[in-house]
């Protein structure tokens, strides 16, 4: 396997300290971190709303279009974050200086 995927193996070995940082967090936070499918889904849905327009008159038009797309996408979000109270308290304990409630 090392010969077939030598670049991937080398990358993992070279970056092992950064990759294993993930395991420093509690399980509930790790579950939120590794749900990148949600982010990819959001990006795909934004693309659906914006791809029909080939050009925009300016940056403000792009921002407004994305904002409206997100508002429409948010209407379909019905699933709450599991154990949010526990997750929030862990975020506060770990990142107290960065969280504003």
Q: Which pLDDT score is estimated for 4?
A: 86
Q: What is the pLDDT at residue 2?
A: 60
- Rounded to whole angstroms, how far apart are CA atoms 27 and 33? 10
Per-residue model confidence (pLDDT) at position 16: 93
* Tokens standing for residue 70: 């997100």
How confident is the model at residue 35, as a pLDDT? 65
pLDDT at residue 1 in the model: 56
List the chain residues with pLDDT less than 50. Answer: none
pLDDT at 28: 85
Q: Which of 9, 7, 4, 33 is nearest to 21 (CA)?
A: 33
Residue 41 has a pLDDT of 84
Q: What is the pLDDT of residue 36?
A: 66
């Amino acid at each position: 396997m090392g010969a077939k995927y030598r670049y991937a193996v080398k990358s993992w070995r070279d970056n092992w300290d950064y990759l294993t940082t993930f395991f420093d967090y509690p399980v509930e936070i790790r579950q939120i971190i590794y749900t990148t499918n949600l982010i990819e889904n959001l990006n795909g849905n934004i693309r659906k709303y914006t791809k029909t327009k080939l050009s925009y008159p300016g940056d403000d038009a792009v921002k407004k279009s994305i904002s409206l797309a997100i508002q429409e996408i948010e209407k379909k979000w019905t699933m709450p974050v599991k154990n949010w109270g526990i997750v929030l308290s862990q975020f506060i304990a770990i990142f107290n200086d960065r969280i504003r409630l």
